[in-house]
Structure 1
Amino acid sequence: MAKYRSGRINEEVKKAISSTIQNDIRDPRFTAMVSVTKVDVTKDLRYAKVYITVLGDEDKQKETIDILKNSASFIRRQLGQSVKLRYTPEIIFELDTSIQYGMHIDALLEKIKENKENDSK
């Protein structure tokens, strides 16, 4: 039962943070395409680790994460207004590299496939 509740809380926090990032952050440096891929809220609701995917090069990713870390208090305040919890969790932003890793694995598999096709001919 508790596992189901934590999953619902994670999804609600994810929706609220994603909406705030897309609609309410007015920083002129914030131009990258950002998506929230996953949110893990601790059982005591004190901390929320937010995994972010940023499309762009490494410099753009680093700059975007820095902007989000500086905006964490604003995002936390918006989260507290939109999601009613006992405590409003402190937000910790992490860069999610799983998409780049998946693309790298896919490229390796394609390379192996091409090598097998060339060897069979």
Structure 2
Amino acid sequence: MSHNHTTDNETLMYETNQEMLYHGESHGTKEIWKIFGLLTIITIVDIFLYFIMPANMFRNITFIILGIVKSYLIVGYFMHMKHERLNLALSIIVPVLFVVGLIMGLLYEGDFWSSFN
């Protein structure tokens, strides 16, 4: 509790429920279970496709797309980034995309040098 015993609405909201202060409304468990179910379905489809699709580049791209969708759902809903301001979200997403691009470039170049020699 704060040392100043004021009765203004913001202080009362802060002291009783910080989630309500920052987001305006509390996220219900219904939404969490809905996202959990969606993640479960995507994972089951992911496993099913692994066993029925032949090993080729299309299967790899499919797994990458499904992984990106699952990452978006996890970061957006369970880490509450979907409800944050755009600047905060971009300050996290842009460096991650840069690192992923760097890793992809390094893997590509590494394969180039091994096949070049």
| Structure ranking higher in strand proportion | 1
Which structure has more relative contact order (CA 8 Å, sep 6+)? It is 1
When Rg is computed on C-alpha atoms for both structures, the one with the higher figure is 2
Establish whether TM, by shorter chain, passes 0.5. Answer: no
TM-score, normalised relative to structure 2: 0.30
| Structure ranking higher in helix proportion | 2
